[in-house]
Amino acid sequence: MTDLSLGGRTRPDRDRVLRLLQDYGVHLGVAVLLLVNIAFTPHFLSAENFRTQAVQVAPVLIVALGMALAIGSEGVDLSVGSVMALSTSLLSLYLGYGMWIALLVAVLGGIAVGVANGALIAYIGVQPIVATLALMVAGRGLALVLLPQLKDVRDPTMASLGSGDLLGIPYLVLIAVALALLVAFVVRRTTFGRQLLAIGDSRPAARLAGLPVRRVLILVYVCSGALAAIAGVLATARLTASDPTSLGNLMELSAITAVVVGGTPLSGGRVRIGGTVAGAVLIQLLTATLIKHDLPPSWTQIAQAVVIILAVYAARERGRR
Amino acid sequence: MLSVTGSAGPPVTGSAVLSVAGLGKSFPGVRALDGVDFTARAGEVHALIGENGAGKSTLIKVLTGVYQPGEGEVTYDGSAVRFATPLAAQHAGISTIYQEVNLVPLMSVARNLFLGREPRGRLGLIDFRRMHREADEALRGLGVRVDVRRPLRELGVGAQQMVALARAVSVDARVVIMDEPTSSLEPREVATLFEVIRMLRGRGIAVIYVSHRLDELYEVCDTVTVLRDGKVVHTGPIAELDRLRLVSLMLGRDIGDVREEGLTKFSGRHDADSQAVLEATELTVRHQLDGVSLTIRAGEVVGLGGLLGSGRSETAKAIAGALPPDAGRVVVAGVPVRTGSTPAAIRAGVSLLPEDRKAEGIVPGLSVRENIALAALPGLSRFGLVDEARIDRVVDTFMKRLRIKASGPHQKVGELSGGNQQKVLLARWLAMNPKVLLLDEPTRGIDVGAKAEVQKLIDELAEDGLGVLLISSDMEELVEGSDRVVVLKDGAVVEELTGDAVTEDRLMRAIAATPAARATTAVPTAPGGDDD
């Protein structure tokens, strides 16, 4: 029984504050960073700058959407960075057959990795962290076998996909926003989304309720793989080059950070897409702020670490309730 | 050092080795032990029994240093002691063999036997040759022949248990505690185990034996202590306590008590169809079920009786596809169902309300609404999109019909009371329009008012034509709620009580019956409830 005699008034208040902080802290963080930058960073408030920030955050956000699904199912997908590399290799290999075919092949590559991840997890019972670690290593290796070194991508359609815009909004940003809306819709409105949350919250209960646990898990990792492949394609278009050595390096960590900071608990059962978007933006703004104030890049990583710890702390405090 | 046949000093039979007096232990909201006196004597096999929540595990954990006593004291070897950790108890000479083997699966059998006290050769290196030889001898002494160099995990569970036992008896133990040691053993291994236990007794070791298998208790134990609700209700020589009395002590129901009708909310008998809605035939699961067959007709409640560990939950799970059987068939409304698949069982119309409501039933983080709609979701969707309006209607209907008390459909299920959680689970299954409901302890851990409501609901459901399988440790509930009671013991059906034979008395007799006397007391009656 909880002791209500001491601080009986303050505890619920503290709980409420923590809950609000976990649910909306990330949005608050974004707002604070925006205000700080508007006040102190020269040339921050310009269309050009916002455009740059948005284009840079788009691939991270797209990967994080898939990661949110994996984490919501009480799993994780470490292979996303390698899937980006694989998709850029496949893209430049098949570009000779036309852009659309190359795009299709690249995304199919991501789906194939997702099927492999899902099958290992759902049928063989390998822990998600181990299964996707295996594919993380294998995927990067395969990408380098397919395309051993950096190769320029000289396709006009690709170039316009990477740098073009519609009514001043870059295609990359439009695609990222569209995908975020799509994933949010999937989580909220589809049978798959509901089943995913139930499986993430209580796998034994989901199983006894007759849910198609294996099918749902495979689909989760297929979504994550496909989204990572799309992110790889878009990053390639923006850089107008395929670089399987470095593309997507440490992307899994950025994506996990965005998801966790956005309030999706690592224990599964909950997926917050709005929070994930804000989480990705927060990390991007944090990086930009530190760079613009001439702090070394290593500071960015330390700042990221602090944000992750704060987010996990808030989640843990709440879980203890 | 590891010889099991040698004697460890002169056996001092009869003197108290380990005892507790006035032992009390509380956990938040639970009084687990209350004024417990218990004495384990040298050269004596002492049975410790009781149903769920009786306090056996807590008592053992206090004896082995896992928990500290709340009140009272532990006396070991004539002086008051306080074991700060399980290791301290082990060093003092108290060995415990748990139900689940707690050894290192990847290490060799010999390494496991000698873990922490390996024989050393020159330079302080492990003398593997000696270790392997002594391990081999020790296991042979227990009738186990295995290659002691192989990793432990390659052995069967029974053999692993024997390794644990060999380890326990080889460390100069004065007290050996065995927690359901036979639950995963073959009959041949059980015989070996009993020989070892008798040998331990001969060496003056005090053995504390926890089991639910009555036959075993009478075969191997000298003394018995029965716990119920944290208190000792009986202690004395087992030979002086007949089986029926033992069962009635465990269950807390007196033989020959005038049955007070109307304490439960059950109306009594139902008019069952003559047609079987569920036929389970010869369900067999290794170590758990031994050819269980039962039939449920539409509109009747069939009770499943038996002690803890008799295979009641396993039977329900095997029928519901949650426990893949090694053999056996399940037929629902004349159509065979693929066993070992929950979705297949659910499609056929079989729904299970699991015993562990919190871990296997509810999805605590989701709302009442999502929990109710969970199983029926595909049917409430179109092209993979959830039809919210239809879900709202279904949820509204069942929240009203089952009188679910929540602040609203969007409250998290984890925040509801136990009774309301149970109703949410019932709603989840009723939304599937099932033919058979398997209810495993549907009223356990819920308050009296909610209990009555759930009992009334079960009645109504049977009247509506569902076939219901009711598992309950509450004898009164089982007897008053069921039209027939199938009695299980050690994973097999020992008797079926029908008609007027559905009484607590008969049920306890069936549970207590010796193997030879089984199956002769069934009263043949016409199929179906024919009263009222």
User: What are the sequence ranges of the domains in chain B?
Assistant: 16-241, 263-349+434-532, 360-433
Chain A, window 248-277: residues with a beta carbon less than 8 angstroms from a chain B beta carbon: 269-270
The mean pLDDT of A182-206, rounded to a whole number, is 94
Beta strands in B166-214 (DSSP E): 175-179, 206-210
**Nearest CA distance, A104 vs chain B (angstrom):** 24
Q: Please give the structure tokens belonging to residue A180.
A: 């975020």
Please tell me the predicted confidence (pLDDT) of residue B391: 92
Q: Please give the structure tokens belonging to residue B118.
A: 């390996």
**Which residues of chain A lie closer than 8 angstroms to B361, CB-CB?**
205, 208
**Which residues of chain A lie closer than 8 angstroms to B352, CB-CB?**
208
B383 in A contact zone (CB under 8 Å): no
**Nearest CA distance, B4 vs chain A (angstrom):** 41
Average pLDDT, chain B: 83
Which has more pLDDT, B156 or B488?
Answer: B488
Contact state of A194 with B374 under an 8 Å Cβ cutoff: yes
B26 in A contact zone (CB under 8 Å): no
The mean pLDDT of B414-440, rounded to a whole number, is 90
What domains are there in chain A, each with its CATH number?
47-315 (1.10.3470)
Give burial (CB, 10 Å; 0-12/13-18/19+) of B107: middle
Q: Bridge-partner residues for A282, per DSSP? A: none
Please tell me the predicted confidence (pLDDT) of residue B1: 41
Q: Please give the structure tokens belonging to residue B22.
A: 């006035």
Span of B94-98, B207-211, B393-397 with lowest mean pLDDT:
B94-98
Judge whether residue B527 has pLDDT over 80.
no
Contact state of A197 with B352 under an 8 Å Cβ cutoff: no
Nearest residue in B to A212, CA atom = B343
A141 in B contact zone (CB under 8 Å): no
Distance between first and last Cα of chain B: 70
Q: What is the DSSP string of A221-267?
A: HHHHHHHHHHHHHHHHHHHTEE-TTTTTTTHHHHHHHHHHHTT--TT
CA distances from B136 to A289, B47, B142 (A): 69, 30, 10
- Give CA–CA dist B182/B189, Å, rounded: 8
Contact in structure between B243 and B253 (CB atoms under 8 Å): no
pLDDT tens across A28-56, in order? Answer: 888 888 888 888 877 777 888 888 889 99
**Which residues of chain B lie closer than 8 angstroms to A1, CB-CB?**
28-29
Which has more pLDDT, B375 or A311?
Answer: B375
CA distances from B223 to B44, B61, B234, B239, B247 (A): 7, 20, 10, 8, 15
pLDDT tens across A16-28, in order? Answer: 777 777 778 888 8
Judge whether residue B488 has pLDDT over 80.
yes
The rounded Cα B125 to chain-centroid distance in angstroms is: 45
Residue B258's pLDDT band, with cuts at 50, 70 and 90, is very low
Contact state of A197 with B342 under an 8 Å Cβ cutoff: no
Among B27, B342, B346, B424, most A C-beta atoms within 10 A, so best to mutate, is B342
Among B340, B453, B346, which Cα is nearest to B405's?
B453
Please tell me the predicted confidence (pLDDT) of residue B350: 94
Domain B16-241 identical in fold to domain B263-349+434-532 = yes
Length of chain B: 532
pLDDT tens across A235-244, in order? Answer: 999 998 889 9
Percentage of chain B lying above the pLDDT 90 cut: 30
Among B377, B422, B429, most A C-beta atoms within 10 A, so best to mutate, is B377
Which has more pLDDT, A69 or B99?
Answer: A69
What CA dihedral angle connects B366, B367, B368 and B371, to 10 degrees?
-30
Judge whether residue B262 has pLDDT over 60.
no
Please tell me the predicted confidence (pLDDT) of residue A12: 63
Average pLDDT, chain A: 87
Q: Backbone dihedral region of A269: left (phi > 0), alpha (psi from -120 to 50 degrees) or beta?
A: left
Name the DSSP class of B224.
E
**Which residues of chain A lie closer than 8 angstroms to B366, CB-CB?**
197-198, 201, 269
**CATH classification for the domain delimited by B16-241, as one of 3.30.70.2660, 2.60.40.1930, 3.40.50.300, 3.40.50.170:** 3.40.50.300
Contact state of A202 with B362 under an 8 Å Cβ cutoff: yes
Residue B120's pLDDT band, with cuts at 50, 70 and 90, is confident
Residue A180's pLDDT band, with cuts at 50, 70 and 90, is very high
Amino acid letter for position B460: E
**Nearest CA distance, A301 vs chain B (angstrom):** 33
- Give CA–CA dist B397/A83, Å, rounded: 47
**One-letter-per-residue 3-state SS of chain A:** CCCCCCCCCHHHHHHHHHHHHHHHHHHHHHHHHHHHHHHHCCCCCCHHHHHHHHHHHHHHHHHHHHHHHHHHCCCCCCCHHHHHHHHHHHHHHHHHHCHHHHHHHHHHHHHHHHHHHHHHHHCCCCCHHHHHHHHHHHHHHHHHHHCCCCEECCCHHHHHHHHCEECCEEHHHHHHHHHHHHHHHHHHHEHHHHHHHHHHHCHHHHHHCCCCHHHHHHHHHHHHHHHHHHHHHHHHHHHCEECCCCCCCCHHHHHHHHHHHCCCCCCCCCCCHHHHHHHHHHHHHHHHHHHHCCCCHHHHHHHHHHHHHHHHHHHHHHHHC
**Nearest CA distance, B30 vs chain A (angstrom):** 10
Contact in structure between B146 and B177 (CB atoms under 8 Å): no
Judge whether residue A278 has pLDDT over 70.
yes
Nearest residue in B to A267, CA atom = B365
Contact state of A205 with B370 under an 8 Å Cβ cutoff: no
**Nearest CA distance, A130 vs chain B (angstrom):** 19
The shortest CB-CB distance from B360 to any of A195, A204, A210 is to A204
B375 in A contact zone (CB under 8 Å): yes
Contact in structure between B287 and B183 (CB atoms under 8 Å): yes
Name the DSSP class of B415.
G
Which has more pLDDT, B282 or B169?
Answer: B282
- Give CA–CA dist A216/A213, Å, rounded: 5
Name the DSSP class of B120.
B
The shortest CB-CB distance from A210 to any of B343, B361, B362 is to B343
Judge whether residue B396 has pLDDT over 90.
yes
Is residue B430 classed as helix, strand or coil in its secondary structure? helix
- Give CA–CA dist A182/B523, Å, rounded: 64
Contact in structure between B223 and B235 (CB atoms under 8 Å): yes
Nearest residue in B to A190, CA atom = B385
Residue A107's pLDDT band, with cuts at 50, 70 and 90, is very high
Please tell me the predicted confidence (pLDDT) of residue B267: 62
Beta strands in B255-314 (DSSP E): 276-285, 289-297, 301-305
**Nearest CA distance, B528 vs chain A (angstrom):** 30
Please tell me the predicted confidence (pLDDT) of residue B11: 44
Neighbours of B353 (CB within 10 A): 24
The answer for residues whose C-beta is within 8 angstroms of residue A4's C-beta and 6 or more apart is A11
Judge whether residue A268 has pLDDT over 60.
yes
Span of A10-14, B64-68, B388-392 with lowest mean pLDDT:
A10-14
- Give CA–CA dist A272/A312, Å, rounded: 15
Judge whether residue A10 has pLDDT over 60.
no
pLDDT tens across B503-525, in order? Answer: 888 888 888 887 654 444 444 44
Q: Domain B263-349+434-532 is classified in which CATH homologous superfamily?
A: P-loop containing nucleotide triphosphate hydrolases (3.40.50.300)
Contact state of B354 with A197 under an 8 Å Cβ cutoff: no
